[in-house]
Amino acid sequence: MPSTSSVPSSSASAAASHAVVEAAKPGTPAADGYRMPAEWEPHEATWLSWPRREGISFPDTYDRVVPGLVQLVTALAESETVRINVADDAMEKELRGWLKGVPPERVEFFRIATNEPWCRDHGPIFVKRPKAPGLAVVDFGYNAWGFKYPPFDDDDVVPTKVAERLGLPVFDCDMVLEGGSIDVNGEGVLLTTESCLLNPNRNPHLNRGEIETNLRDYLGVKQIIWLGDGIEGDDTDGHIDDLTRFVNADTVITVVEDDRNDRNYDPLQANLERLRQAALSEERPLHVLTLPMPRKIVREGQRLPASYANFYIANTAVLLPVFGDQNDAWAASVLREAFPTRRIVPIDCREIIWGLGALHCLTQQQPH
Q: Which residues contact 172 (CB under 8 A, 6 or more apart)?
A: 139, 160
Report helix, strand and coil shares of the chain as percent, to nearest 5: 30, 25, 45
Distance, CA of 182 to CA of 206 (rounded, Å): 17
Distance, CA of 192 to CA of 194 (rounded, Å): 7
Cα of 267 vs its chain's centroid, Å: 20
Q: Which of 173, 196, 349, 361 is catalytic?
A: 361
- Catalytic status, residue 196: no
Q: What is residue 105's three-state secondary structure?
A: helix
* H helix and E strand count, the chain: 11, 18
Write out the H or E segment, with its range, that includes residue 367.
strand 364-367
DSSP notation for 204-253? TT--HHHHHHHHHHHH--SEEEEE----TT-TTSS-GGGTEEEEETTEEE
Residues 252/194, Cβ–Cβ less than 8 Å: no
Side-by-side strand order, sheet with 223-227: 183-184, 189-193, 223-227
Residues 35/128, Cβ–Cβ less than 8 Å: yes
- Give the β-pairing of 81-86 and 107-111: parallel
Residues with catalytic roles: 361
